[in-house]
Structure formats: C-alpha cells, structure tokens
Structure 1
Amino acid sequence: MMDTFLLSRIQFAANISFHILFPTITIALGWMLLFFKLRFNATGEERWMDAYRFWVKVFALSFAMGVVSGITMSFQFGTNWPGFMESVGNIAGPLLAYEVLTAFFLEAVFLGIMLFGFRKVPGWVHTTATFLVAFGTTMSAFWIIVLNSWMHTPTGFEMREGVAHATDWLAIIFNPSMPYRLVHMLLASGLTVAFLIAGISAFRWIIGDRGAEVRTTLRTGLITGAALIPLQILAGDLHGLNTLEHQPAKVAAMEGNWETGPNVPLVLFAIPNEETRSNDFEIGIPNGASLILKHSADGVVPGLNDFVTEEGEVLHPRVAPVFYGFRVMVGTGFAMLALTWGALALMARRRPGATGGWLETRRGLDGLPKPVIWAALAMTFSGWLATLAGWYVTEIGRQPWLVTGVLPTEAAVADVAPGMVVSTLLVYLAIYLVLTLAYVGALFHLARKTAGKDQTPERPAAPSLQPAE
C-alpha cells in the first residue's frame, strides 16, 4: 500500500504535468500572435491576419485551460502540502502575489481586446493589447520560475524557529539558477509553439487546405524551430553546468554515474540498479560525461555513492526517472534539430518560382517531401514531451528536498488518510485525461473547420481589409 506522502507527490505531479502543458503554449504563442499582427500591419497581406485569427482561438482555449488547472494546483499547497507555506510562505507567498499583480491582471484586462477588438478598436490599440497580453504571459512565467528556482537554489533568507524570512529580495529573485531556468523555459515554450504551429499547419495541408495562410504558418513554425533549437541546446548545456555546481546529486542521477572520478563515460543507455548501485546493460561513450561537464577527459564528475550517509540514508533522487527523463528530453531535442534543419535545407533548394505542378504534387509543400510534412504532423506535440521530461528531471532530481537544504519534502506533507488522497487523485486523473483529449480534439476540429472555408490567395489584401484606425 502506498502512503500519504507518495500519493500526495503523485497527485501534485499529475496536477503540475497537466497545468504546465498550457502555459508552455501561451507564453510563446502570445509573441507569435504579435508577430503575425505586425506582419499584417506592415504588409497588408491577409494571410497574416488569417493566421492571427486562427491561432488567437488556440491561445484563448489554452489560456482558459491554464487558468483553471492553475487554480486547482494552488489549492494543493493547503490540502496536501501545508508544511510548505508554514515554512517558506514568507517568500513563496509574495512571489505568487507578484505574479498575480504584474501578470495575471495584465493578461485578464487586455485579453478581451485582443480576442474581440479587431475592427472594434483602432488598429494600434489592438496591436498594443496583443503585446501586453504576450508580455503578461512572460511576466507570469518569470515569477513562477523565480519561485521554482529559489526552491532549488535558495538564497537571500534566514531561518528563524523553522520559518524562512527574507533578508535580500534581489538575491531571492536573482538566485543562482534563475537566469538559466528562465531562458531554458522560454526557449522550451518557443519550441513547443513552433512545432505546434508547424504540425497543425501540416495537418491542414494534408487534408487539402492549400491557402496562403497554411504555407505561411508552416514555414514560420519550421524556421522558428530551426532558430531556437541550437539556442536551447546551448542554454541546456549552461543550465547543466550550473546544476553541477549547485545540485551535483541531480547531475549524477542524470548521467547514471555512481562513483566519483575522472574519465566518466557518457551513458547512452543503461538500466540503473539502485540495489547493486550500478548500471545494467550500459552502453556509453568513453570520457563523454567528463568532456561535457568538465571540458576535459580526465575531469572529475560526482557520483551517486557520495550522497549516501554512513547510516545508509540516501540523499539523492530516485535514479531511473531522472536518468530516463533526461534522455527523452535530449532525444526529442535532437529530433527537433534534425527535422527543422533538414526542412530548411530542402526549402532552400526549392526551385525558384515553382509554386505548383510537380513540386506541389510530388514534393509536397514549398519543396518539402511529403514524408517531411507527415513528420511535422507527428511532432506536433513534441514540445510537450520534451517539456514534461525536462520538468520531471528538474523536480524529481531535487529530491529528497522540497527546498534544497532547507525543507525536506516529507516534512511538508499533510497528515491525512491515504484513502482521501487516492480518491481525489483518481478523480483528477480522469478529468485531466478527458480534458487533454478534448483539447487536442478541439485543435484538430478547428483545423478541419477552417480548412473547409474559402482560403485567401497568397497576394496583398485590398486596402478595405485594413483594421480601423
């Protein structure tokens, strides 16, 4: 039988896993909508406004799902984890309040103008509202990442009778891991949206939508993905080095390294065995981990056995979920790199002036072979996969701490009967499954519905189609 502690962890993991799907979309999609609107303002081409009208509906749906799931998640601080606020509420509470005051209110005020104000307000007002909503989603991400980063690398506080009190808010906000986590998360959101746009656009092309908007958004998604993935790989490397400095046990679990020492291989695949404290069926690249983490073949990399006390108490996270989650995240990232850079190379080789005929029927869209378009569809939600895998690495890798070195996770759990947690967990899981399927179904239904309408040809719009000034 599972106890309250483990069940509460599973329940919170289910809540955060569901919730994070939607902010991951809205953070970057707001800026993509602003790009569409600015391009329309600059060129007058209706294809950009068609893209805006389609994707603003996706934004609205994602925003609503994010708000509702966020409220449910915040309740668990009181119902499942009261020790968290009792111990560090003096820091967590204000940071969450800043998120509401500087971000959520901004989004809520201007969202209506963004959704329904086109043709009802001057064009510059509508563009400004789009900018402010995009800015609000980013500010929301900023404050949440500040709190989460502080839980990993806490600074700027002192403990008094078991309660954290802030001594330096700048040190709390700009804690050692915050810049790396913020950049990593923003790039993850950008990649999620890039592949979502490319995937849905590929689906629309496959079902027969040949409008200028589809061509535009497919190209935009692939080009955005190609631009962001190298930056994400670089940001991930810097984030890993920062984690090595502040949370070496997490890095040891990510690498599947048990013994501290030089010449540590980069383990490509293995089955971590915590009973024997070794890896089964290991396949690795000699010296790879030392080269990546220490930039030297004989660089010393920490091992998991350093984080076990003489009494046998384990002070490192469970290895398997961190180890496998890291590989899923990295593998998905390299798949993104291969698809987007390959697609860009094919588009660059496209015959000048060819807009139909042989290219359209045999090569797919804009010089892309049809298998590439199908691959884009298959990777529609690859950003979600990479984000969840990375989130599990980050959060499970922090264990056994809720706030590193300050608050053990087990000390914060509520004293409630396991049956109560099980019942609510099952309800949550059922609702989240239904809502996720409904959300995905709604996106493809919207794509099919849009494909059935007359499509705007790829030429500048008439002056009468400009928004009211």
Structure 2
Amino acid sequence: MEFDALMLSRVQFAFTVAFHIIFPAFTIGLASWLAALEFNWLRTGNPLYRNLFRFWVKIFAVSFGLGVVSGIVMSYQFGTNWSRYSEFTGNVLGPVIAYEVITAFFLEAAFLGIMLFGWEKVGDRLHFFATCMVALGTLISAFWILSANSWMQTPAGYAIENGKAVPVDWFQIIFNPSFLYRYAHMVMGCYLTTAFAVAGMSAWMLLRHPHDAPESKLLASRRSMSMALWFATIFVPIQIVIGDLHGLGVLEYQPTKLAAIEGNWETQANMPLRLFAIPDEEAEMNHYEIAIPKIGSWILTHAYDGVVPGLKDVPREDRPPVWPVFFSFRVMVAIGFAMLFIGLWSVYLRWKGTLFTNRKFLYAAMLMTPSGFGAVLFGWFTAEIGRQPWVVYGLLRTADAVSPVSAGAVTASLLIFVVVYAFVFGFGSYYLAKLLRRGPDPVEEIRGDDPGKKPKRPFSVPDEALEGAPGDKALPAR
C-alpha cells in the first residue's frame, strides 16, 4: 500500500470524520432526551426531572462543544485535500450544506444559550421551547448532512455540464433514493447511542453506590436507566426493520456494495447467510466460511430464491475493499443484536422486580455504554468504504477527486490533527468523567423551596418514586 497524497487524504478525512461523528451521534439523541426530561418536569412538577436535566445538560454542553470544534476542520478539507471533488459537486452540494448552516446551526446557536444559562432568567415555558428548538436544530442538521451524503451514494436530480454536476431538480437532489432510509437509520442510531450511553452511565452510578447509599442518591440514576432502557427496548426492533428496508435500497441502487457486504462473489439465487468468512480478493473466494443455506437470499430480497448480485459482475477496479466492508457490517449487526438482548433482559428483570439490583445486568449495561458509538462508526465504515472506488457513486472516482497536493503537506496536517484532537478529546473526556463521578444531586437538595424557578404547582416527591421498580431491594454488599 502506497501512502501517497490520495491515501493520506483519505486517512485524514476518515480520522476527522470518525472522531467528529461520535459527538453528533450522542448530542442528537441527548438534545431530545433533555426535552423529554424538561417536559416531564413541567407536566408533573417532580423536581427529580429538573435535577436530571441539570445534570445531563452539562454533559450535552461539553459534547456539543467538542462536536463543533472537531467538525470545523472537515469543511476546510474539501478545499485543501479534495478540491476536484468540490469543483465537481459544488453546484449541487454547496447549497445543501449552506441550508444546514442557515436552518440548523443558526437555530441551535440562537437557543443554545437560553437552554444552558437562561432558566433563572426566562419563564419555564420559554426555556422548554428553547430546549425543543435545540433538539429540532440537531435533527434539521442531520437532515441536510444526510441528504448531501446520500446524494453521493445515490445521485439524482442532476445533469453534467462542462464536467461538473449541476442541479436540475432540487426535490430529487434532497430526497434522493437512499435519503429517507439513511436519515431514519442514522437518527434512530443516534437516539439508541444516547439511550445506551445514559443507561450505561446510570448503571455505573448505581454500582458505585451500593447498599449503604441513600435512596434519594440512587433515585436519579434509577429513573435515568429505566427511561433509557424503555426506549431501547421499544426502538431497537424498529431500528432493525429500518435497516432491513435500507438494505433493500442498497440491493437496488448499489449492488456492488451489497455484494461486498455479503462476501458474495457469484451472482446467485438461494444465497446462504454468511455468518463468518475470510474474503480473499485475489482468489475471488472466501476461506473458512460459516453459512446458513438460503437464508441470505430471503433476508436480502425477501424471497428464498431471490437473486443476489456478485462481485465478479464488475471489473476489479470497480469493487470496494471487501474485507473491511464485510466485517464492519457484521460488527454493526452484532452490536444491534446485543442491544436487543439487553432490552429483552431488562423487561424480564422489570417483571422480576430486580432491574436495579441485578449486578450482572448492571455490569452488562455499563459495558454497553459505548455500543451505540461503535454501531454508528462501523455502520459508517460499511457505507463509506462500500461506496469505493467512487466518491460520488458511478460519477466521480475518489482518485479523481483529490487535490494536487504533496504527500508531505497532507502528512504534516494529519499529524497536527492527531495531536490537537488528542489534546481536546483528552481534556473533554477528563471533564466528562468528573461530571459523571459526581452524578445528579440527591433529591433532598431540591425538595421544598427550589432555588430556581418553581414548578407551576407545589410538589413533594412521593414515597413510591423513591422505591424504583416494584420489589426492588437494596443493592447487596460487595
């Protein structure tokens, strides 16, 4: 493998995107989580929800800031490392990215300050409106970014004039064939990322405060974990269905990517479901294959005799790297089924009344804290590496999109990014760890007169709210 300017530019963009995406994947879901907490506070007057809001909004602020800082450099790379890509797609994707700034970034910037610092200065309803606008802004931002990226996967509504893509139909450009499924899949992935992060962090807090902790200290962690697990239990199956529908679109519009995902070399009906294999691109075959007969065709085409395309249908130079696509997809799916298992396990423990006291489950939930980030990253690897060798599928090759820059210049900037990102991420992670170690304030600190705005009606925390799930007992001593 030659580390020329093309390869180094790809490595640099992959590094910055992979680093950046973990923060939007968290904050998109966390913004809606904050809106749900504040809604419940206004609806019930229960100060527990406000306390949880005040805790998680600090996590949101740090994560949002890290996401903004890490995302700024990506737009510059379009001009420095990928100028030919910018020249080819600028008339189409330039306005789409501008819409993201105008409609989403300005909205978030306008209301973020109110959400973070305005609770003592504005009314409760206005503050809740600001929180909802921030949550809406994150969804609008994802809308435009996913629309632009989906156009690169399934371009539509364009014409080629003087070697450049120009817009013909903006509706087709924005709502290109893969956009709706990819948008739904990504947003749901962000929500599940937040759900498992919240559940895992809450489980960690419960494990840190065993049998001798006051009930009020455990209550916030219990409520956070319970809400997050209910969401995960309901929406992981929905995400699996969305992923299946997205797969049907990949079969129709990007058959070579699907062939790489499945490690399928020959076009065939009754294709097996390959659970494991070692793809050999030189020999055009798989080694050590473990497969279930016919199930692959049924999953991919919804028919046992459905025909699945093979990699040999296209020349070698038009195929993506097979093994990273093949394994990235399987890691993503494995994480998804692990999420499903945690959700079903939580339902069983609720029924048993031991959701917050089963130490094995708490450790499992804690270990699943980064699972959503992993699923998003490996799903992104599958989508982006599977698109190769095209940067705009079927129109512009990645090799033809790079800027005429030297390998030394790209190497220098890559090393600078690594050092700066390590510094920023290190301090951000340290501060987040401090916040998590402290945890939400005990409920006693917010009983009676609240130092901030009071609820619209008096409230005292009911005794049953301190008990968690029915039948819960104190955590056993270690």
TM-score (norm 2): 0.91
The SS at the match of 1:159 is strand
Q: CA deviation at 1:119?
A: 2.1
The SS at the match of 2:318 is coil
| 2:309 matches 1:302 | yes
Equivalent residues in 2 for 1:82-97, closer than 5 Å? 82-97=83-98
Q: Which residue of the other structure, out of 348, 353, 356, is the alignment partner of 2:351?
A: 348
Code of the residue aligned with 1:331 in structure 2: it is: A
The unaligned stretches of length 5 or more in structure 2 are 457-478
Q: CA deviation at 1:437?
A: 4.0
Q: Is the 8 A contact 1:211 1:456 kept in 2?
A: no
Q: Is the 8 A contact 1:260 1:306 kept in 2?
A: yes
Provide the C-alpha distance between the structure 1 equivalents of 2:339 and 2:365, rounded to a whole number of angstroms.
Answer: 9
Structure 2 match to 1:405: 394
Q: CA deviation at 1:420?
A: 1.5
The SS at the match of 2:96 is helix
Provide the C-alpha distance between the structure 2 equivalents of 1:467 and 1:169, rounded to a whole number of angstroms.
Answer: 48
| Structure 1 residues 460 and 307, CA gap change in structure 2 (3 angstroms) | farther
Equivalent residues in 2 for 1:174-213, closer than 5 Å? 174-208=175-209, 210-213=217-220
The SS at the match of 2:387 is coil
Structure 2 match to 1:354: none
Give deviations 1:311-358, integer Å, cap 9, x for gaps.
xx42110001100000010000000110121012211221xxxxxxxx
Equivalent residues in 2 for 1:64-463, closer than 5 Å? 64-208=65-209, 210-308=217-315, 313-350=316-353, 366=356, 368-450=357-439, 455-456=442-443
Give deviations 1:395-430, integer Å, cap 9, x for gaps.
011111111111111111011111211222122223
The unaligned stretches of length 5 or more in structure 1 are 351-362
Q: CA deviation at 1:439?
A: 3.3
Q: Is the 8 A contact 1:195 1:382 kept in 2?
A: yes
Provide the C-alpha distance between the structure 1 equivalents of 2:423 and 2:144, rounded to a whole number of angstroms.
Answer: 30
Q: CA deviation at 1:460?
A: 7.7
The SS at the match of 1:280 is strand
Provide the C-alpha distance between the structure 2 equivalents of 1:348 and 1:457, rounded to a whole number of angstroms.
Answer: 29
Give deviations 1:55-77, integer Å, cap 9, x for gaps.
11111111111111111111100
The SS at the match of 2:15 is helix
Provide the C-alpha distance between the structure 1 equivalents of 2:70 and 2:200, rounded to a whole number of angstroms.
Answer: 25
Code of the residue aligned with 2:260 in structure 1: it is: A
Provide the C-alpha distance between the structure 1 equivalents of 2:43 and 2:248, rounded to a whole number of angstroms.
Answer: 42
Give deviations 1:29-71, integer Å, cap 9, x for gaps.
1111000001001111111011100111111111111111111
Single out whichever of 439-448 and 413-422 deviates more from structure 2: 439-448
Provide the C-alpha distance between the structure 2 equivalents of 1:461 and 1:386, rounded to a whole number of angstroms.
Answer: 43
Give deviations 1:261-310, integer Å, cap 9, x for gaps.
112111111111101011111111111211111222221110111111xx
Provide the C-alpha distance between the structure 1 equivalents of 2:367 and 2:125, rounded to a whole number of angstroms.
Answer: 38
Structure 2 match to 1:360: none
The SS at the match of 2:391 is strand
The SS at the match of 1:397 is helix
Structure 1 match to 2:462: none
| Structure 1 residues 49 and 459, CA gap change in structure 2 (3 angstroms) | closer
The SS at the match of 2:286 is strand
Q: CA deviation at 1:187?
A: 0.3
Q: CA deviation at 1:432?
A: 2.8
Provide the C-alpha distance between the structure 2 equivalents of 1:458 and 1:335, rounded to a whole number of angstroms.
Answer: 37
Provide the C-alpha distance between the structure 2 equivalents of 1:458 and 1:339, rounded to a whole number of angstroms.
Answer: 33
| Structure 1 residues 378 and 438, CA gap change in structure 2 (3 angstroms) | farther
Q: Is the 8 A contact 1:307 1:316 kept in 2?
A: yes
Code of the residue aligned with 2:185 in structure 1: it is: H
Where in structure 1 do 4 or more consecutive aligned residues deviate above 3 Å? 433-441, 457-469
Q: CA deviation at 1:466?
A: 4.8
Provide the C-alpha distance between the structure 2 equivalents of 1:244 and 1:440, rounded to a whole number of angstroms.
Answer: 40
Provide the C-alpha distance between the structure 2 equivalents of 1:47 and 1:275, rounded to a whole number of angstroms.
Answer: 60
Provide the C-alpha distance between the structure 2 equivalents of 1:6 and 1:147, rounded to a whole number of angstroms.
Answer: 23
Single out whichever of 239-248 and 429-438 deviates more from structure 2: 429-438
Q: Is the 8 A contact 1:119 1:468 kept in 2?
A: no
RMSD (Å) for aligned C-alpha atoms:
1.8
Q: Is the 8 A contact 1:27 1:134 kept in 2?
A: yes
Q: Is the 8 A contact 2:31 2:134 kept in 1?
A: yes
Provide the C-alpha distance between the structure 2 equivalents of 1:241 and 1:39, rounded to a whole number of angstroms.
Answer: 38
Provide the C-alpha distance between the structure 1 equivalents of 2:21 and 2:327, rounded to a whole number of angstroms.
Answer: 20
Provide the C-alpha distance between the structure 2 equivalents of 1:374 and 1:465, rounded to a whole number of angstroms.
Answer: 36
Code of the residue aligned with 1:185 in structure 2: it is: M
Provide the C-alpha distance between the structure 2 equivalents of 1:286 and 1:430, rounded to a whole number of angstroms.
Answer: 48
Provide the C-alpha distance between the structure 2 equivalents of 1:314 and 1:297, rounded to a whole number of angstroms.
Answer: 31
Q: Is the 8 A contact 1:142 1:182 kept in 2?
A: yes
Provide the C-alpha distance between the structure 2 equivalents of 1:458 and 1:257, rounded to a whole number of angstroms.
Answer: 60
The SS at the match of 2:278 is strand
Q: Is the 8 A contact 2:62 2:432 kept in 1?
A: no
Q: CA deviation at 1:233?
A: 0.3
Structure 2 match to 1:10: 11
Single out whichever of 202-211 and 11-20 deviates more from structure 2: 202-211
Q: Is the 8 A contact 1:118 1:467 kept in 2?
A: no
Provide the C-alpha distance between the structure 1 equivalents of 2:418 and 2:57, rounded to a whole number of angstroms.
Answer: 28
Q: CA deviation at 1:464?
A: 7.8
Provide the C-alpha distance between the structure 1 equivalents of 2:130 and 2:151, rounded to a whole number of angstroms.
Answer: 32
TM-score (norm 1): 0.92
Provide the C-alpha distance between the structure 1 equivalents of 2:338 and 2:423, rounded to a whole number of angstroms.
Answer: 29
